[in-house]
Amino acid sequence: MNWDALNIVGVVAFAVSGALVGVEESYDLIGVFVLGIVTAFGGGIIKDVLVGIPVTTLWSQQQPLVAAVVAVLAVMLLPGRWVGQWRRWGVSFDAIGLATFATQAALQARRLGLPLSAVLVAAVLTGVGGGIARDVLAGRKPLVLRDEIYAVWALLAGAVIWVGWAATPLQVAVLVAVIVALRTSSVRWRWKLPRTPLPWARW
């Protein structure tokens, strides 16, 4: 699983996630398309800005663009009864996008020789960037601002990359799978972060 593979997987996953939200919100075809594309590339654009890559390089990435368009069209062509189960599908695709984009961004920042803080920030903002763009455009409270565990998993991916525990393609694939499993498990079992004020501060 190399950089390009991670990019394609993340783009497709977030494109589907955004398109599913657009369908659930009863957007028209253009609205669904825009939401899917923005969700797919929002995190990548943030990552490029963070690590100093010109944003215009997005237009040279023909395969990700085609993959995102095909993914959105596939969602549009799905039977209505299938799309009706978008909540279950949306969580899975969102988890895949979070894991792949966070891992990809951390790998790229690490290879550029950036410090630990930059690797972690790149992983978190890239992993959650597409989801934030999707939720804001859909008029929803972004997942990263809720008390359920979301950005923490992107932070974990960045930390693992930094310490060198995912140095081979197999290890990277395992890391992505673990982050996806943790994210979906946190939704399934309703793991949550403490609310403010913290329990020990309630006096």
What pLDDT does residue 152 have? Answer: 94
Euclidean distance between the first and final Cα of the chain, in Å? 50
Q: Residues 12-16: what's their mean pLDDT?
A: 93
Backbone angles phi, psi at 59, to 5 degrees: -75, -15
What pLDDT does residue 136 have? Answer: 92
Specify the pTM: 0.88
User: Left (φ > 0), alpha (ψ -120 to 50) or beta: where does 192 sit?
Assistant: beta
**Which has the higher per-residue pLDDT, 48 or 32?**
32
Domain membership flag for residue 174: yes
Domain membership flag for residue 131: yes
Domain membership flag for residue 64: yes
Backbone angles phi, psi at 139, to 5 degrees: 70, 35
Q: Is 139 helix (H, G, I), strand (E, B) or coil?
A: coil
Q: Residues 22-44: what's their mean pLDDT?
A: 92
Residues 72, 33 contacting (CB under 8 angstroms): yes
In a 13 Å sphere around the CA of 105, the CA atoms on its Cβ side amount to 41
Non-local CB neighbours of 153 within 8 Å, separated by 6+ positions = 98, 99, 102, 127, 179, 182, 183, 186
The pLDDT-based confidence of 46 (bands split at 50, 70, 90) is confident
d(CA 53, CA 8) in angstroms, rounded, equals: 18
Q: Is 118 helix (H, G, I), strand (E, B) or coil?
A: helix
Please list the alpha-helical segments (H only) found in the chain: 3-24, 29-51, 62-77, 80-83, 86-111, 116-137, 151-163, 169-188
Domain membership flag for residue 200: no
Q: Can you state the angle between helices 86-111 and 3-24, rounded to 10 degrees?
A: 150
The pLDDT-based confidence of 51 (bands split at 50, 70, 90) is confident
Q: For 188-203, what is each residue's pLDDT tens digit? A: 898 988 776 665 555 5
Q: For 61-109, what is each residue's pLDDT tens digit? A: 789 999 999 999 999 888 777 766 666 778 889 999 999 999 999 998 9
Q: Residues 139-164: what's their mean pLDDT?
A: 91
% of the chain exceeding 90 in pLDDT = 59
Domain membership flag for residue 198: no
Domain membership flag for residue 116: yes
Q: Residues 27-55: what's their mean pLDDT?
A: 89
d(CA 200, CA 203) in angstroms, rounded, equals: 8
Domain membership flag for residue 197: no
What pLDDT does residue 86 have? Answer: 65
Q: Is 192 helix (H, G, I), strand (E, B) or coil?
A: strand
Q: Locate 110 and state its tokens.
A: 């690490």
Q: Residues 18-30: what's their mean pLDDT?
A: 91
Q: Residues 164-181: what's their mean pLDDT?
A: 94
The residue range of the domain holding 161 is: 3-191
How far is CA 74 from each of CA 16, 33, 82, rounded to the nearest angstrom?
8, 11, 12
Output the average pLDDT for the chain: 88
The total domain count for the chain is: 1
| pLDDT over threshold 90, residue 48 | no
Q: Residues 152-175: what's their mean pLDDT?
A: 94
